[in-house]
């Protein structure tokens, strides 16, 4: 069995019940990688059969998220394709037809049990310590009897008729053969009383009709996986490769990420939903790298991957079925790596909107220099305004308190600032080679520590305690602006 089968047709099949989170983004990424690697197709299918949980905004979110991550589908509701429509609510008749085909072959049946009746059965089973399951009341109704009741308008569902005896063996790509006793499998509902198909039928029919070669999905589907395989077999179809991905665990590794944990993490500003990642200052490249490694590895050492690397190096064989704990700090780490991997031009283009959003007018003439000064120090794009906003400010907001921190008196600060100004006016070029020693001499002459003078200068030029190195900043600000800021500071200090 090989994942290198050419070309793979894989589908990402989210239900529009919420925003795209890291778990589903990971599934979509693996789909995309396999499709690109084998010259195949990546298909987006919207599984909107659950009308009650439908959220209108979710679908737009999926497109935006895939777009931002750079993993666009080849076929889908927006892209179209040879198997349109790619939205299950528009494929209702296909499911009904196949359910009827299963009825005709004796692999499915109409069930008229009311919910009251089913509840009673369920309660009895619980009392007897049995796992609740359908008791088979309608399994053996004759076709005539069923037809009569349907004619009479009796509410009904269609259920799959799981063989009562024997075993079923299915093969998961990562876990190998899984064998279950058929007596443990339920006669699942395929078509609900409102006429809508459920996942167990709709996904199977679509996967077959859309010629899907690899079904890559979450391991929450493992318990019902044998039923899905049985439906394939009952319809006489060749099964795809089934790949059930690892479960994502909470950061402490204790248990699955529940809905509540997800909400909690989001409230703490952690990157859970793709839509939030950009605002939190992450690059799509970093998110891709991070999620790729949640359950997949290339070898024991390589951790830096671009999307292109992943297309070359990804393989289903190296997916790990064991649960993986989400490590949020790893994303910060990858973000730093990917930021450093950008060309200066690219990094400059990514930071520009952040300064603009903060209300600055960005002068392209020095943006590249600014980018170069902060690139290696940036872990998240959220930091760049705090780090380098002062470059775009005409006047920085200096106050006496801020200038004279670091145990300097106002008169000492004024004297030092004046001396720095005189020094700078004298220097044809202000850089580390020409200015560092003279600045140290100023400190020594005033019996101050060199750090106090450098700190003062930093505060005067940037309005910040922390900034890129002084001699990176000064050439970008330019001599005129440097002198102007020293003048403003001296004015405040002597007034």
User: In the bound complex, what is the minimum distance in angstroms from residue 47's beta carbon to ligand GLU?
Assistant: 4
Q: How far is CA 368 from CA 343, 345, 349, 365, 376, in A?
A: 10, 7, 9, 7, 13
Q: Which is nearer to ligand GLU, 245 or 249 (CB)?
A: 245
From the number of C-beta atoms within 10 Å of its C-beta (0-12, 13-18, 19+), residue 445 rates as exposed
Stretch touching ligand GLU by CB under 6 A, among 12-20, 103-111, 245-253, 319-327? 12-20
CB 311 within 8 A of CB 37: yes
Q: Which is nearer to ligand GLU, 83 or 217 (CB)?
A: 217
User: In the bound complex, what is the minimum distance in angstroms from residue 31's beta carbon to ligand GLU?
Assistant: 9
Region of 355 please: left (phi>0), alpha (psi -120 to 50) or beta. alpha
Question: Which residues are CB-neighbours of 444 under 8 A, at least 6 positions away?
Answer: 450
Stretch touching ligand GLU by CB under 6 A, among 11-19, 146-154, 259-267, 311-319? 11-19
Q: Does 15 bind ligand GLU (CB under 6 A)?
A: yes
User: In the bound complex, what is the minimum distance in angstroms from residue 88's beta carbon to ligand GLU?
Assistant: 9
Q: Residue 381's CB: how many other CB atoms inside 10 A?
A: 20
Joined together, the tokens standing for residue 162 give 């799981």
Question: Which residues are CB-neighbours of 213 under 8 A, at least 6 positions away?
Answer: 5, 8, 9, 10, 40, 240, 241
User: In the bound complex, what is the minimum distance in angstroms from residue 312's beta carbon to ligand GLU?
Assistant: 25
CA–CA distance, 243 with 25 (Å, rounded to integer): 16
CA–CA distance, 417 with 415 (Å, rounded to integer): 5
Stretch touching ligand GLU by CB under 6 A, among 8-16, 236-244, 364-372, 476-484? 8-16
CB 21 within 8 A of CB 58: no
Q: Which is nearer to ligand GLU, 171 or 488 (CB)?
A: 171
Letters for 28-67 (x = contact with ligand GLU by CB under 6 A, - = none) are -------------------x--------------------
Q: Which is nearer to ligand GLU, 14 or 321 (CB)?
A: 14
Stretch touching ligand GLU by CB under 6 A, among 10-18, 58-66, 161-169, 461-469? 10-18
User: In the bound complex, what is the minimum distance in angstroms from residue 210's beta carbon to ligand GLU?
Assistant: 12
Q: Does 247 bind ligand GLU (CB under 6 A)?
A: no
CB 43 within 8 A of CB 245: no
Cross-strand bridge partners of residue 176: 172
E runs forming strands in 231-336: 241-245, 248-249, 324-325
Q: Does 434 bind ligand GLU (CB under 6 A)?
A: no
Stretch touching ligand GLU by CB under 6 A, among 9-17, 58-66, 91-99, 416-424? 9-17
Q: Does 288 bind ligand GLU (CB under 6 A)?
A: no
Q: How many residues bind ligand GLU (CB under 6 A)?
A: 6
Letters for 188-217 (x = contact with ligand GLU by CB under 6 A, - = none) are ---------------x-------------x
CA–CA distance, 81 with 87 (Å, rounded to integer): 12
CA–CA distance, 174 with 214 (Å, rounded to integer): 12
Q: Which is nearer to ligand GLU, 203 or 457 (CB)?
A: 203
Q: Which is nearer to ligand GLU, 245 or 456 (CB)?
A: 245
User: In the bound complex, what is the minimum distance in angstroms from residue 202's beta carbon to ligand GLU?
Assistant: 9
Q: Which is nearer to ligand GLU, 15 or 464 (CB)?
A: 15
250 annotated active-site: no
- Closest listed residue to residue 472, CA positions, set 395, 398, 394, 377: 377
User: In the bound complex, what is the minimum distance in angstroms from residue 15's beta carbon to ligand GLU?
Assistant: 4
Q: Residue 160's CB: how many other CB atoms inside 10 A?
A: 22
**Catalytic site residue from 127, 254, 259, 357:** 259
Joined together, the tokens standing for residue 285 give 């490249």
User: In the bound complex, what is the minimum distance in angstroms from residue 390's beta carbon to ligand GLU?
Assistant: 47
Q: Which is nearer to ligand GLU, 53 or 465 (CB)?
A: 53
What are the helix (H) ranges across 328-468?
328-341, 344-357, 364-374, 384-388, 400-403, 410-426, 432-445, 450-462
User: In the bound complex, what is the minimum distance in angstroms from residue 51's beta carbon to ligand GLU?
Assistant: 14
Q: Does 14 bind ligand GLU (CB under 6 A)?
A: yes
Beta strands 189-191 and 157-160 are antiparallel
Q: Does 13 bind ligand GLU (CB under 6 A)?
A: yes
Stretch touching ligand GLU by CB under 6 A, among 13-21, 119-127, 153-161, 439-447? 13-21
CB 65 within 8 A of CB 59: no
Letters for 216-245 (x = contact with ligand GLU by CB under 6 A, - = none) are -x----------------------------
Catalytic positions, please? Answer: 259
- Binding site residues, ligand GLU, CB under 6 A: 13-15, 47, 203, 217
């Amino acid at each position: 069995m090989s994942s290198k089968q050419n070309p793979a047709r894989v589908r990402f099949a989210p239900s529009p019940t919420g925003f795209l989170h890291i778990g589903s983004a990971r599934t979509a990424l693996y789909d995309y990688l396999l499709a690109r690697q084998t010259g195949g197709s990546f298909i987006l299918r919207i599984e909107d059969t659950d009308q009650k949980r439908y959220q209108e905004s979710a679908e737009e979110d999926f497109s935006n998220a895939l777009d931002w991550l750079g993993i666009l589908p080849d076929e889908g509701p927006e892209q179209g394709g040879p198997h349109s429509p790619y939205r299950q609510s528009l494929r209702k008749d296909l499911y009904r037809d196949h359910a009827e085909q299963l009825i005709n072959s004796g692999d499915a049946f109409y069930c008229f049990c009311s919910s009251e009746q089913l509840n009673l059965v369920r309660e009895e089973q619980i009392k007897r310590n049995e796992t609740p399951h359908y008791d088979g009341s309608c399994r053996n109704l004759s076709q005539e009897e069923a037809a009569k009741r349907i004619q009479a308008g009796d509410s009904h569902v269609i259920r799959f008729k799981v063989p009562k005896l024997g075993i079923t063996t299915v093969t998961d790509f990562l876990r190998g053969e899984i064998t279950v006793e058929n007596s443990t499998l339920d006669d699942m509902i395929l078509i609900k009383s409102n006429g809508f198909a459920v996942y167990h039928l709709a996904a199977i029919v679509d996967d077959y009709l859309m010629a899907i070669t690899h079904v890559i999905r979450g391991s929450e589907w493992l318990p019902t996986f044998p039923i899905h395989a049985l439906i394939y077999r009952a319809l006489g179809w060749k099964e795809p490769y089934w790949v059930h991905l690892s479960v994502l665990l909470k950061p402490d590794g204790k248990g699955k990420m529940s809905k509540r944990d997800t909400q909690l993490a989001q409230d703490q500003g952690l990157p859970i939903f793709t839509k939030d990642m950009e605002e939190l200052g992450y690059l799509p490249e970093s998110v891709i790298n991070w999620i790729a490694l949640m359950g997949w590895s290339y070898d024991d050492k390589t951790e830096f991957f671009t999307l292109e690397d992943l297309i070359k190096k990804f393989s289903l064989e190296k997916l790990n079925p064991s649960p993986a704990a989400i490590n949020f700090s790893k994303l910060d780490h990858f973000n730093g790596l990917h930021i450093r991997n950008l060309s200066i031009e690219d990094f400059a283009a990514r930071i520009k909107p952040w300064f603009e959003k903060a209300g600055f007018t960005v002068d392209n003439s020095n943006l590249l220099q600014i980018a170069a000064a902060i690139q290696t120090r940036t872990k998240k794009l959220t930091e760049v305004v705090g780090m380098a906003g002062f470059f775009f400010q005409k006047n920085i907001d200096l106050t006496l308190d801020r200038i004279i921190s670091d145990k300097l008196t106002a008169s000492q600060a004024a004297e030092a600032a004046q001396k720095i100004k005189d020094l700078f006016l004298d220097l044809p070029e202000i850089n580390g080679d020409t200015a560092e020693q003279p600045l140290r001499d100023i400190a020594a002459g005033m019996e101050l520590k060199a750090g106090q003078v450098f700190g003062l200068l930093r505060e005067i030029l940037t309005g910040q305690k922390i900034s890129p190195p002084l001699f990176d900043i000064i050439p970008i600000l330019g001599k005129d602006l440097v002198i102007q800021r020293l003048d403003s500071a001296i004015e405040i200090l002597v007034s």
